[in-house]
Structure 1
Amino acid sequence: MIAEDLLSSILESSIDWIEVLDPDARLLLMNRAGLRAMDITSPRVLVGQSWVHCWAQPGQEAARRAVQDALAGRAGRFQGSRATVNGTPRRWDVVLTLVRAFGGRPDRLLSIARDVTGQVDLAQELSRTGRRHRALAEASAAIIWRVTPDGCSLEGEGWDAFCGVAVEKGQRGWWLQLVHPADRERVSAAWHAALRDGEPYACEFRVRHVGGAYRWVADRGVPLRDEDGIIEEWVGTISDIHERKQAEEALRDSEERLRLALETTSTGIWDADLVTGGRQWTPETRRILGISAEAPVTRDSFLDCVHPDHRAEVESTFFVDWPAEGPGYSGTYRIIRADNGEERWVAATGRTLLDENERPVRKIGTLQDITPHKRAEEALKASEERLRLALHAGRMVAWERDLATEHVTRSPNALGLLGLGSGPFPDFLERVHPEDRPQAEALIRQADDEAPETVEFRYKLPGGGTLCLGARAERVGPNRLIGITFDITDRKIAEEQAWRSSNHDPLTGLPNRALFQQRLEQALGCAGHSGTNASLLLIDLDHFQAINDTLGHDAGDALLKETAARLSAMIRACDTVARFAGDQFMVLIVEPLTLEHAVRFAQCVTETLRQPFSYAGRRLTGRASIGIAAFPDHASRSTELMQDAEFALRHAKEQGRDRAVTYSPALRLASEQRVGLGRDVHAALARDEFIPHYQPKVCLATGSIVGFEALARWHHPTQGLLTPGYFGTAFADPELATAIGRQINAKVASDMRGWLDAGLPFGRVAVNLSPSAFNEPGLADELLMILEHTGVPARHFEVEVTETVFLGRSSDHASSILMQLHQQGVRIALDDFGTGYASLTHLKQFPVDHVKIDQSFVRELERDEGDEAIVSAIIGLCRKLSIEVTAEGVETPGQAQRLRGLGCHRAQGYLYAKPVACTQVPSLLTSWKAKEAI
């Protein structure tokens, strides 16, 4: 019993986990330390269980071997993981021994386990730290080294890879043999001083690389000390800085070359510190000015050397904090040398340097004596004058090109022939057609031939127009060409016509698919470079095949040509319209116009193509579906952009044709804007915001005002006075167009009543009736009722209609309305005459009293013989039919004089007055000077 009590006391007092097992390794007993380790209060839950299976895999196999060793009389040892009842894992060092029993009792196995979880975690962390250290060393391009306090090498990771030599551990100074001989003594001294003083070490030197060449490295090291400050070891890195050293050397070489260049070109440098007031001049600057090396550098000492004629200019340019032309400035001036009074020419440049707060802190610049150059220029001017007289009659330009500076000196007549005087060659080259620039640049190579050939290229004049030029040159020095340029335009016209035939559609004369593709690529390249945009419209004529099938191919061709003409009239010079294929057209709109403009343009296209035209006694109408795509909104490549336009075109056809669809969500935005405008117009009508403004019509014979045209304006509560350019799309809605017209007509009648009461001789006032207005059967009665209600005689009232009302199924209805108005004394005017597609017989069939010539024929009347012929024909026709004629859009006295000479009765346009409010009409009439208007 004493032995058992002693054993029990030993078990309970031990801090190790002790378990007693039977020979089959089943648990019999566990001490208090084991209970704490397992986080249980009683061993009953574990007694009788297999002790081996209590260990986590793969520790069970080790536990099983330990049991076998113990039963064989050997100590069984292993390390395993065993979780508590709550699942907390712990690591244990276990010793298993056999305890022999006496007195016939069974043997027992004694397990003693010690918790080593912390030691294992520490070992794992140390292992991870070691791995991180190795990974860092591998990832870094630097060599990491360690040495003892007295300089014996311990480690040098990466040294052997960089230098091809293994680290000689335990040895001192062995690595110095790999240092460049020129650097070795300096490096050795710095290293031994660091070892001696215990201070951080840093040195840059060349070391032999694994390839045999020397490379620059930066060596850095620091001592590691214990808590008593004693150095335990040195650690450091060696980094490859060879590229940096080479860059520094290149910079020094560049600075030396600059110094030599300045000395060679006799260029002086001046430097002024605006903060301290200090100034520095190089010796060359002093030499140019004739100022001795001992003389002080001041503002006055410099200005005293400047010629009096230039002194004010120099002071205003170089002695202000921030010149008006920007931080850089230059000039050419005369000076008077301080030492001998000689007058010289100098070229000076300067630049103001700013600090981080944009304040000027320094000025620096150059000074160069250009007197010989100036004298040479004077001699050259005399020579050029003689040459100018010789070349003037021949319309040829002689020139001289300096290949070193790219400056081209041209004969004086160059400005008249080429629109360009002397200057840099690139200025001339920019005006050469891009496709021909290689030929122009080839003059250098051609000049070396014994019989140089003529180089030909296209040249764009600054004022517009293109010349075809030929040029020949000869080399008269390594950097000098002389040559002559002459006009070959007439000969190249025939070649241009041949080119056009291969790049244009023979039916319509428009660019064909190939040329359009080239222009599209060019436009996208320019837009991508400048950050602007470009829009593409793919137009497909609706039901074109039906026209071919029913009326024949001649009718289809007529429709294609009419479409081409209308599209061409709508685009700008920088845009492109092309016949793409069959009944398809492409329009390219380039910057600065946006995608929204392209959408509006497409709507105008559909409306324009809807207008009928006459063919073989028939009225044909062209309708179109349009797909819109834009760069960079939708695509960046031409092929993708055209695919987007095709997709949008298909969508337009699916929606019912005769419309335009944008590939992007911009369509939704445009739709919302249109709906919003319609809503705003409805609201404006409810608020009675539409008002008429009046533009006078003037008699060309007397200069008197004979009438007015009432033009709709929207008096917007926030945006002010808006023209139809803003709300014109509302007229596409017949209901809105009719409502706006009704509101305008009532106010016009009211204004006329007021003028009549005031005794003003205003003549007749014309109102515009939209085609949709004629859908109202009571239109004539409504207008006559307004006149009757206001007491305005019908002879003072006129309605303007376009030729559209004479076309289509509603023409008979429109004819009866106009006839009713005409019979009551209202005059009928045909507006925009010549732009529609009505037959001339309509002038006889309908009650037309007045024809207004569209401004598109008036605009170029003074320069375009075709326009003059059309205007003359219209006037002559109307004279024969006793119809009054008014020309619209008259803006110049020359136009008015030409119209008067052609027999035109009246004129209207900005030459006389812009549209004015009703309140301004009385003053306009009373102050009008008829003679001045003639």
Structure 2
Amino acid sequence: MTDLTVKIPAPAWSEAQRLAVLRRFDILDTEPEQAFDDIARMAAQLCQAPVGLITFIDEGRHWFKAVVGLEAGEAVPPFCAQAILQPGLLIVPDARKDPRFAGNPFSRSGPALRFYAGAVIRTDEGLPLGTVCAMDRTARPEGLTPEQAETLAALARAVMNLLRLRRAEQRLALEQDPFAQLADALPQMVWSSRSDGHDEYSNAHWYRFTGASPGSALGRGWIEMIHPDDREEVLARWQHASQTGEPYEATCRLRHHSGEYRWMLARALPARDARGAIERWFGTYTDIHAWKESEALAAESRERYRALLEASAVMLWLATPEGMLTHIEGALDAGGLAETSYRGMDWLDAVHPEDRARVRAAWQWALSSGSAYQNEFRIRLADGEHRWMLANAVAVRNPDGSIREWVGSLADIHDRKQAEEKLRASEERLRLALHAGRMFAWEQDLTTNYVTRSQNTVALLGIGSGTLDEFLERVHPEDRGLRQHFAQQAKAQGSYASEFRYILPSGKVIWLGSRAELASPNRLVGVTFDITERRVAEEEIWRTANHDSLTGLPNRGLFHQRLEQALADAKRQQSRVNLLLIDLDDFKDVNDTLGHDAGDALLKETAARLSAMIRSCDTVARLGGDEFAILVLDPYTLQDAADLAGRLVARLREPFTYKKRVVSSRASIGVAAFPEHHFEPAELMKNADIALYRAKAQGRNRVLTYSPLMRREIEERVALGADLREALARDQMIPFYQPKVSLETGRIVGFEVLARWHHPSKGLLTPAYFGAAFDDADLAPAIRRQLVAKVVGDMREWLDGNLEIGRIAMNLSSADFSQPRLVEEILDVLQGARIPPSRLEVEITETVLLGRSAEGVSTILQQFRDTGVSIALDDFGTGYASLMHLKHFPVDHVKIDRAFIKDLGQNGDDEVIVGAVIGLGRSLGLRVTAEGVESRDQERHLRRLGCEDGQGFLYSVPVPGCGVPPLLLRGL
């Protein structure tokens, strides 16, 4: 068999490209943002998974922008690094079976994340930046549905849109900054720096001239570009300007991208804050290389150059009064314009065909009118490329006013035009982003309260630019006061954000979020966005998290919050709080007999009935399973609450019809109240629960109000449990034996095992002291195991002594029958001692058969009987369904309860009942034993009635194992 391998095609991008684009979005190591958290949460909910993430893959790490469902420090397998290599979604049904992750320790140690579904966050150019993913600690072979996969991919695209929006917001301020726009439009190299000389900005001309990569000039990197011979002088001038605040000016040689140094004129002016301190410097570098080299030229040349410099021209040209070009200066430096190619009117042939007619008409108008000329157009260079140029020209006149010649300049503005086009495209993208994000930008004049809004406001809100009052009139009345103070808060804090409701012209109410920054003392700028869907989702999430999905009632968490608030209010107002805990007595029986859909119907019907019987100020909740709770507030007293509980029990007892079947149930209720029972929520809940427990223990279908005695009994039972655990550890549980005697022969036919606790200080204790332990699911089996081991040891010793012991009867509790290996455990001990199962009898009371696991009890009893173990029904006649139990359970032996034997011979009813039981046993082929025989008169009546066996103090008190042989040897 060949190894399973996964082939991934090589990506069409390089890691360096991907990382560069990722860092341009400036998302790494940023603070959590609600929009990203919401998407991660939606990804988890969409995929029905506990974990949702938004990750970005940096060099050497997976950085989480949003995390839902992971504990701090919990390890995550490197799924996402594989996901970004995929053309589509990456689905990993089980990491332990996937060759890419099977060997990874993260997929096997601790609470391993085994299922993964990730969609790639990808740029328009196809560069993967990270993933939106959902993970589960359980393998999911089915993966995702097509709808889930498509929606997960849509969430990844939504994250990409968020990234673009963040970037657009960051760039918006810079792109709208008039300084930045002007800087890129000027032919000079423009820069700004902090007061200490660290550059903050350089325009595009700087990077084009130096060949440096964008951003490398920031800080003090500009010093390295200056000729080493000029640095000392430049730094001295800079230091002087920084200290005095005087304008900065210096000439120096600056390194060109070709490697040569060119002369530049550096100038800068300081910008001061409100206190007069220098905040930053704004400056330019002007190329004066040609000027420096031509300082020795004639005065006319100097005058021409000075005019050109004043016009900030890159190229200079001269033309005749008729417009024929006669001279071009600096053509080669400006990008390949050849003088011979543009002499005369030939320069018009080089103008782009689309611009030619317009340029010709404007030039002819200037020639005819003598007006100054200015025009922008595209011109073909020597290499065939068309570039945008700015042409300026003025007429030089003779003394008589006639035109002697034209002097003009031609500046390359191609970069500026491209920047303008990019700005227009950026503004369009911003417009589309605002539209897609259902948001609008605005600016508020704090002196007039006039608000200028972006154009899409009309479509979103039904209003355009206008006064603040016009907007406030549409804000929801409950939120208007908050929104009125928005500007004051933003002005006081520098920035502010708020959320509020807004009423559209149609009457529909939506939620808006606003963020504002103080741009100047009297100007606020900000954005407002539609958050209706988010608020609706949050409200739904809150409802889902705080309400029961089946009944719609508040769940345990919300109920505890309301209980805490109600108690806090009651303490402050000296009022009352009543707490009712409700448990359905027969819920499991409905589920087992009619199905879980009927159980769900019962829960919903219960919720409806409880809700209908309380006031609007009260709270009914489903705590889980079949347990409900009601919070009843003032002015209800404790007695009022108990009366209400009684009415609730009666109402819940009424049957209802579900799918043509009658469903009925009963309920038990425990009641506790403040201030009577406690003032802390947890303790009040505990007291109500204690009352509920007692109500169920007393027969169910009733209401009990808490009393301190109940808690003391619970505490005593807990203390008893601790003592019994220590007794078991010290092997202090021992068996005593009481004989069963044949009433016909007087011989011993068996013994019943009775548990005793050999307490080191209290002596020998009977179940009257520790009988509650037999209801404990942990203690009862432990006591039984210790007794069985000792009983079987005694039986082996007696049989080895050739004593006829008959059957030894062991009592089993309800808790014993919850043990899955009960039969195997007892039979293993018997087999280990070589004792036939026929020597053992299992005694159970009717309370065992009345439990919720009656079907399981019947199965276990049949397993005992199949091995030869006899089954005895103890305390027969005290239950309400004894005859039914004889029919449905494998019983061999019935023991008449001592309550019917006590007055035998004196009470005619008891004699009738005992006779009936004996006759019933004989008819069914069952052996009958009378318990509690204490007199010869009772014995005679039993013998006359045909009872086979008797047990009681008449024959012997319970004796330890060492007392059994003497009883057998001497007889009774």
TM-score by structure 1 length? 0.31
TM-score by structure 2 length? 0.30
